[in-house]
Chain A
């Protein structure tokens, strides 16, 4: 299967700082990438759809000014959590669909802890 990487895998930051998470498709190009958030023992909740060359599409209730998404190239999307607060602590996971098919391949996730 296709490989998606995320960096960093784990980050701890102070409240009020910004954190950038990178998502890369290593062996394929992705014009679209998805960002999910997962709280402990819960399912994945879609936050936004990242589109190469255009603005991201955010799900209802997700603040676009707080969660900045930039799809810089066909293999890289970044999620920046601005002015992070403890309630933003979560597991953030990206995914990318392979070609024109439905299969989505997920990154290993980024554990964000805001103190």
Chain B
């Protein structure tokens, strides 16, 4: 089955700086890579996703890159704000099947 690894497990940045979270996956057949933001006591919220036919996708301050050859993808958050503080999960899936999640990154944005 798919194995998704995520780094770092914790990340602290100053407000306004950028944050980068990286994930690798093992199954080359995976074709969908979403990123979720989870605040304390809440369910994960989809913030951005990318499919295997695209190398990069951007939505305002958030961007995701995908390197299919190396089987890794990254989340980039620019101009971080305190409200960006949360736990972020990457995931991978094949088709419309269940998601395989990374272990999560706790991001803290220091005002």
Chain A residues within 8 Å of B, Cβ to Cβ = 1, 4, 6, 32, 34, 41-44, 46, 49, 93, 95, 97, 100-109, 111
- Expressed in whole angstroms, the Cα–Cα distance for A104 and B97 within the complex equals 9
Contact B99 A108 (CB under 8 A): no
Number of A-B contacts (CB under 8 A): 55
Closest to A109 in B: B43
Contact B101 A102 (CB under 8 A): no
- Expressed in whole angstroms, the Cα–Cα distance for A100 and B96 within the complex equals 7
**Which B residues are in CB contact (< 8 Å) with A32?**
96
- Expressed in whole angstroms, the Cα–Cα distance for A34 and B96 within the complex equals 11
Chain B residues within 8 Å of A, Cβ to Cβ = 31-32, 34, 36, 41-46, 49, 51, 89, 93, 95-96, 98-99, 101-104
**Which A residues are in CB contact (< 8 Å) with B41?**
109, 111
Contact A43 B96 (CB under 8 A): no
Question: What's the least CB distance linking B64 to chain A, in Å?
Answer: 14
Closest to B49 in A: A103
- Expressed in whole angstroms, the Cα–Cα distance for A104 and B104 within the complex equals 17
Question: What's the least CB distance linking B5 to chain A, in Å?
Answer: 11
- Asked if A105 meets B104 with Cβ closer than 8 Å, knowing A34-B98, A46-B98, A49-B98, the reply is no
Question: What's the least CB distance linking B54 to chain A, in Å?
Answer: 13
- Expressed in whole angstroms, the Cα–Cα distance for A106 and B34 within the complex equals 12
Question: What's the least CB distance linking B106 to chain A, in Å?
Answer: 8
